[in-house]
């Protein structure tokens, strides 16, 4: 079966009859079946073609045939043909998708001979892994006279897989509708193999990283207070949510007779890097509290000094991470609190009134001993007072109708609205409200909120 385009080409020879020498016309007789797929595939890259545009395309060679430089034109043309045949898998199919022409590269890649593939549907090379939706989209596109392009996984005659990026365009007839389809494909099997190798390598790295981070979380958790410390505070709660697997926030809660020591910290950043700072701070805190547990300001000063010493062991490098931190000593019998806060937010709600606790504008680890200024502050408490300490991650959570930070004002309003509830109930209500605010957004930062009723 001779493709209609070849018939058109033969008819077009008459246009050159009186102007083109016999030897030059003979090129079309000999090479039209090879030239045509290349010419048509070139047209695919720009627009759909019809008989008129094909005629114009051939006519554009008239002057070049008559020129002395025709030998150069011939050489250039057949160089293009050779490049196309060696780089692209090309086919022409009828409206049902049956193959009526295929070039050598298509046959060698698919492992089918030309005789085996002619008048066969393209489905003979279809791989079961390729979703039916891909072909549905392709037929919908080319059926409307548009060009379709996409990646397709095929199956060769011997069962081997190969990938192509295919461009399929309709040949438009005189009635403005497709009369057949031209397909140009480039083999991308090697690229796909590299992609799969990279995915597998990434998977192995991710698994190894997950194991390491999970172990780091175990180490980090061992420095935090156990449930006994929290239970000793009676009517209290701790809302603690890591942004990822491991948190940069940290806490330590201990009881000594009628006094409670509450420490909450928020390392800059989040994840593994921030957790290193929190582990260092908690390790130093454990040692410091053995001999100066009555002085929150001194505790913070010593942690700052030690953290600076550790991060300056290599004088050429400085660990820039720091931590906001508060240490509170609460005497529930005398109803007094002594605390020191390095930029950590804390407040008391008393009879519906919010009392903001003062803080110093310095962070642990960012200042040397001379520059680090921290003060002890004392406050009288009343029965029924509720003390809250929170990290920045609470107010910075993105969400709501306009995807913005929830903000301190909203947090204070929420906490004020649950004062009649027990601390356990408050935790659940606040956690649910925060989740609702977050909605489809990711958690912005590590979150810590501690609350205790005096």
- Domains recognised in the chain with CATH numbers: 4-192 (3.30.450.20), 208-453 (3.60.40.10)
The residue-averaged pLDDT of 194-220 equals 82
Give 434's Cβ-side CA count (13 Å radius).
27
**Confidence grade of residue 307 (pLDDT, cut at 50, 70, 90):** confident
**pLDDT beyond 60 at 101:** yes
**Confidence grade of residue 320 (pLDDT, cut at 50, 70, 90):** low
Which residues share a beta bridge with 327? 263, 340
Q: What is the pLDDT of residue 72?
A: 65
**pLDDT beyond 90 at 311:** no
Here the tokens at position 13 are 């020879």
The residue-averaged pLDDT of 101-110 equals 94
Q: How far is CA 105 from the centre of its chain?
A: 38
Q: What burial class does residue 238 get, using C-beta atoms within 10 Å of its C-beta: 0-12 exposed, 13-18 middle, 19+ buried?
A: buried
**Confidence grade of residue 244 (pLDDT, cut at 50, 70, 90):** confident
For the chain, the farthest-separated pair of C-alpha atoms sits apart, in whole angstroms, at 118
Of the listed ranges 42-51, 170-179, 260-269, 393-402, the least confidently predicted one is 42-51
Q: What is the pLDDT of residue 54?
A: 46
The residue-averaged pLDDT of 291-318 equals 77
**What own/partner pairs with CB < 8 Å and gap ≥ 24 does 198-207 have?**
none
Q: What is the pLDDT of residue 2?
A: 41
Three-class SS of residue 336? strand
Q: How far is CA 12 from the centre of its chain?
A: 55
Q: How far apart, in whole angstroms, are the C-alpha atoms of residue 48 and residue 168?
A: 10
Q: For residues 222 and 407, which has the higher predicted lDDT (pLDDT)? A: 407
Which residues share a beta bridge with 126? 154
Side by side, the strands of the sheet bearing 236-241 are: 236-241, 447-453, 386-390, 345-350, 353-356
Here the tokens at position 45 are 């890259």
**Confidence grade of residue 68 (pLDDT, cut at 50, 70, 90):** low
* Model pTM score: 0.60
Q: For residues 19 and 297, which has the higher predicted lDDT (pLDDT)? A: 297
**Confidence grade of residue 317 (pLDDT, cut at 50, 70, 90):** low
**Confidence grade of residue 38 (pLDDT, cut at 50, 70, 90):** very low
Which residues share a beta bridge with 451? 237, 388
Q: What is the pLDDT of residue 271?
A: 66
**Confidence grade of residue 115 (pLDDT, cut at 50, 70, 90):** very high
């Amino acid at each position: 079966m001779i493709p209609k385009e070849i018939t058109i080409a033969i008819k077009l020879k008459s246009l050159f009859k009186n102007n083109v020498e016999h030897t030059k016309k003979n090129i079309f007789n000999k090479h039209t079946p090879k030239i045509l797929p290349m010419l048509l595939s070139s047209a695919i890259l720009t627009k759909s073609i019809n008989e008129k545009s094909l005629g114009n395309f051939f006519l554009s060679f008239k002057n070049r045939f008559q020129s002395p430089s025709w030998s150069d034109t011939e050489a250039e043309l057949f160089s293009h043909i050779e490049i196309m045949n060696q780089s692209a898998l090309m086919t022409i199919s009828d409206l049902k998708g049956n193959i009526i022409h295929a070039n050598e590269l298509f046959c060698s890649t698919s492992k089918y001979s030309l005789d085996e593939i002619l008048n066969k549907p393209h489905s003979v090379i279809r791989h079961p892994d390729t979703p039916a939706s891909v072909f549905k989209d392709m037929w919908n596109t080319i059926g409307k006279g548009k060009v379709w392009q996409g990646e397709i996984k095929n199956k060769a005659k011997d069962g081997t897989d190969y990938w192509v990026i295919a461009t399929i365009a309709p040949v438009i007839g005189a009635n403005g509708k497709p009369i057949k389809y031209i397909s140009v494909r480039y083999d991308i099997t090697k690229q796909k193999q590299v992609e799969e190798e990279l995915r597998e390598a990434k998977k192995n790295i991710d698994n190894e990283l997950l194991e390491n981070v999970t172990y780091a979380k175990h180490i980090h958790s061992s420095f935090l207070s156990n449930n006994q410390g929290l239970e000793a505070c009676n009517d209290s709660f701790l809302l603690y949510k890591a942004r990822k697997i491991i948190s940069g926030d940290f806490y330590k809660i201990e009881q000594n007779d009628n006094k409670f020591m509450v420490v909450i910290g928020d390392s800059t950043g989040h994840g593994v890097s921030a957790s290193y700072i929190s582990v260092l701070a908690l390790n130093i805190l454990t040692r410091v509290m053995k001999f100066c547990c009555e002085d929150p300001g001194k505790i913070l000063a010593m942690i700052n000094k030690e953290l600076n010493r550790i991060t300056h062991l290599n004088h050429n490098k400085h660990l820039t991470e720091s931590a906001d931190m508060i240490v509170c000593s609460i005497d529930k019998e005398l109803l007094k609190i002594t605390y020191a806060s390095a930029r950590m937010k804390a407040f008391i709600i008393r009879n519906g009134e919010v009392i903001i606790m003062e803080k110093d504008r310095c962070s642990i680890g960012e200042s040397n001993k001379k520059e680090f200024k921290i003060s002890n502050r004392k406050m009288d408490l009343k029965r029924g007072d509720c003390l809250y300490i929170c990290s920045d991650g609470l107010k910075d959570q993105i969400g709501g109708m306009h995807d913005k930070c929830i903000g301190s004002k909203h947090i204070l309003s929420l906490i004020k609205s649950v004062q009649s509830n027990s601390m356990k109930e408050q935790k659940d209500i606040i956690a649910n409200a925060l989740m609702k605010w977050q909605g489809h957004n990711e958690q912005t930062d590590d979150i810590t909120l501690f609350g205790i009723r005096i």
